[in-house]
Amino acid sequence: MSLLELKEVTKTYKSGKLAVNKVSFNLNNGECLGLVGESGCGKSTLARCIMRVENIDKGSIVFNGEAMEKLSERRLHHYRKKIQIVFQNPSSALNPKLKIKDSLIDPYDQYRQSLNLRHFSFHSKEQFILQLLDAVELPSELADRYPHELSGGQRQRITIARAISIEPELIVLDEPTASLDVLSQKAVLNLLTDLRKTLDLSYLFISHDLAAVNQMSQRTLVMKSGEVVDQFNEYNLFSNDRHIYTKKLISIF
């Protein structure tokens, strides 16, 4: 079943820049859908449209059967709980003045009235924080530290822990490993794959790194200058009928 359905989504910035041009796709329940393309092709703009931090000019975005451009404020709050985003730079996503434990509890506090957790349980704040740190394979002593006392990879694991803490249905991963060294990248991608399975999550995995996208995703869309020009699945990336632009991306790696 389709969890997220985009039809001819178009976004123009006030500057006149047409950043996303008639993008259509379905993302199925439980799937990791890849979105690959070089810098500036409109990936993050599309992510922000899905998160509804940008309004679209034309087209429709339907999540769980609900057209999101028509959502009331109350439904929008519900929608925001179901879709979380992880950004490239974990440092800017974490409040430097908050201890890790306080950053971790923040999404829970925001949505606690309407949460119905299946995988985590909340008996006490301390115990909840420990479950989250454990889920992202971090030691419990990090709870009392500040973001600057963590490595980049550890910080990104904290933003992932925040995203999963309210058990969303979909996580938009916008270049989640682009700021990390190669070893941390691999470890974070493996963690994300495990979490998708254990927590029944779906991902939209955005990256300029074709190899990483293909490793993570069952299907991948290729974006160029605001448009989706190709899509392939985990078995036919190297088949001959790939778009010429996809072949160019393959040749770079």
Binding partner at 19 among Mg ion, ligand ADP, none, C-beta below 5 to 8 Å by kind: ligand ADP
Residue at token pair 């020009």:
229
- How far CA 105 is from CA of 92, 100, 130, 165, 213, in Å, comes to 17, 9, 11, 8, 30
Element spanning 244, H or E: helix 244-252
Binding partner at 107 among ligand ADP, Mg ion, none, C-beta below 5 to 8 Å by kind: none
The CB-of-15 to ligand ADP minimum distance in angstroms stands at 5
Residue 76 CA to residue 79 CA, distance in Å, equals 5
The CB-of-181 to ligand ADP minimum distance in angstroms stands at 21
Binding partner at 242 among ligand ADP, Mg ion, none, C-beta below 5 to 8 Å by kind: none
The CB-of-190 to Mg ion minimum distance in angstroms stands at 23
Binding partner at 142 among ligand ADP, Mg ion, none, C-beta below 5 to 8 Å by kind: none
DSSP three-state, residue 145: coil
The CB-of-226 to ligand ADP minimum distance in angstroms stands at 7
Strands (E), the chain: 2-12, 18-28, 32-36, 58-63, 66-67, 83-86, 170-174, 202-207, 219-224, 227-233
Count of CB atoms situated within 10 Å of the CB of 168: 20
The CB-of-235 to Mg ion minimum distance in angstroms stands at 27
- How far CA 125 is from CA of 32, 74, 78, 100, 115, in Å, comes to 31, 26, 23, 12, 15
Closer Cβ to Mg ion, 39 or 251, answer by number:
39
Closer Cβ to ligand ADP, 37 or 107, answer by number:
37
Secondary structure of 27-64 in HEC code, one letter for each residue:
EECCCEEEEECCCCCCHHHHHHHHCCCCCCCEEEEEEC
Residues that bind ligand ADP (CB under 6 A): 13, 15, 17, 19, 37, 39-45
Judged by CB under 5 A, the number of residues near Mg ion is 2
Residues of this chain, 21-60, that bind Mg ion according to CB under 5 A: 43-44
Binding partner at 15 among ligand ADP, Mg ion, none, C-beta below 5 to 8 Å by kind: ligand ADP
The CB-of-47 to ligand ADP minimum distance in angstroms stands at 7
Closer Cβ to ligand ADP, 35 or 158, answer by number:
35
Residues that bind Mg ion (CB under 5 A): 43-44
